[in-house]
Amino acid sequence: MLNFRRLGRHIYIGQIIISILSLWLIGTSAVLAAYLPPSNQKPAPKTTRSDSGTTRGCRGNELPPTVLASRKFIGQTTSTHPTFAWFVADAQPVEIKFTIYEVSFERIPQAVYHTSLQSSPGVMILSPWSKNKPGLEFGKTYFWQVVIICDPSSPSSALFDRAHLEVVPPSAQLQKNLDKASSSNQKVERYAEAGIWYDALAEALKLAPFSKLGEIGANLLQSLANSEISDYLRELDPQEKDTLEKRSENLRAIATLAN
């Protein structure tokens, strides 16, 4: 005869297990979220794209200073007050010059923000403007640059990296998805799947320890590195191909070191 009491207990235990698994999946889904480049992404202008080929840090035996963004394509943000992040391997503090330029086809790039600060090893983060100050403008394209002053007495020893971004309004679907998001984890996922790199990384960094990417940020950076080379290497000349491959290797290394 069927034992309904035992069957009911098994069903109850099964429901608990399903509930626990569901909560685990919800909590870890953002970790598995990958950055998907937007279908309308634009190549960065070659006149201002960083192709310096730098492969080392100030002391010659570390990773080079690296902005945590695409260097080949123009990244996107929906914020007029975005967060910028870059990686420094050198343990010894050095001066950093951080500048944001507005890109214009009619004139040379114009600096809209500039500051100097001391470096610290690991992931460095800067939100240049407070919310009550004017920031970037919708519809405009910018590039931002990090210059590491290795030796003040030798300007030629300075190292730099830069990336482009444009400020775009969120799509109706993205805004709808964000309105439903109840945590930074979920916001990372929404921004990443919509191709909004800067906002996805900014949300991920909120969850990371100081100077680190955290698991979610590291996964984002790994997916960015993959997207940089997956479909475009065949279109590049040998020098560009070598530069992009090396940069992708550096991004993967940073994702591992700064996790």
Specify the higher pLDDT residue, 141 or 229. Answer: 141
- Confidence class of residue 32 from pLDDT cuts 50, 70 and 90? low
Q: Show the DSSP H helices in the chain as ranges.
A: 4-28, 172-180, 184-193, 197-206, 214-229, 238-257
Q: Measuring CA to CA, which residue among 160, 144, 163, 164 is closest to residue 52?
A: 160
What's the burial of 192, exposed, middle or buried (CB within 10 Å: 0-12/13-18/19+)? Answer: buried
C-alpha dihedral, 67 to 211 to 259 to 208, nearest 10°: -110
User: Could you tell me if 118 and 93 are in contact, meaning their C-beta atoms sit under 8 angstroms apart?
Assistant: yes
Percent of the chain whose predicted confidence (pLDDT) is above 70:
81
pLDDT tens digits for 87-133? 999 888 999 999 999 998 777 899 999 999 999 999 999 999 988 88
Interatomic CA distance for residues 187 and 199, integer angstroms: 9
Where is 174: in which H helix or E strand?
Answer: helix 172-180
Kindly report which listed range (113-122, 164-173, 174-183, 237-246) carries the lowest average pLDDT score. 237-246
DSSP secondary structure code for residue 220 in this structure = H
Q: In the prediction, which pLDDT does 22 show?
A: 40
Residue 210 corresponds to which tokens in the numbers above? 């100081």
- Confidence class of residue 14 from pLDDT cuts 50, 70 and 90? very low
Interatomic CA distance for residues 193 and 38, integer angstroms: 8
Region 19-45: mean pLDDT is 65
Percent of the chain whose predicted confidence (pLDDT) is above 90:
60
**Mean pLDDT across the chain, nearest whole number?**
84
Q: Measuring CA to CA, which residue among 231, 206, 233, 228 is closest to residue 217?
A: 206
- Confidence class of residue 18 from pLDDT cuts 50, 70 and 90? very low
pLDDT at 161 over 90: yes
**How much of the chain is in helix, strand and coil states, percent to nearest 5?**
35, 20, 45
Q: Measuring CA to CA, which residue among 47, 127, 38 is closest to residue 82?
A: 127
- Confidence class of residue 238 from pLDDT cuts 50, 70 and 90? confident
SS3 assignment, position 217: helix
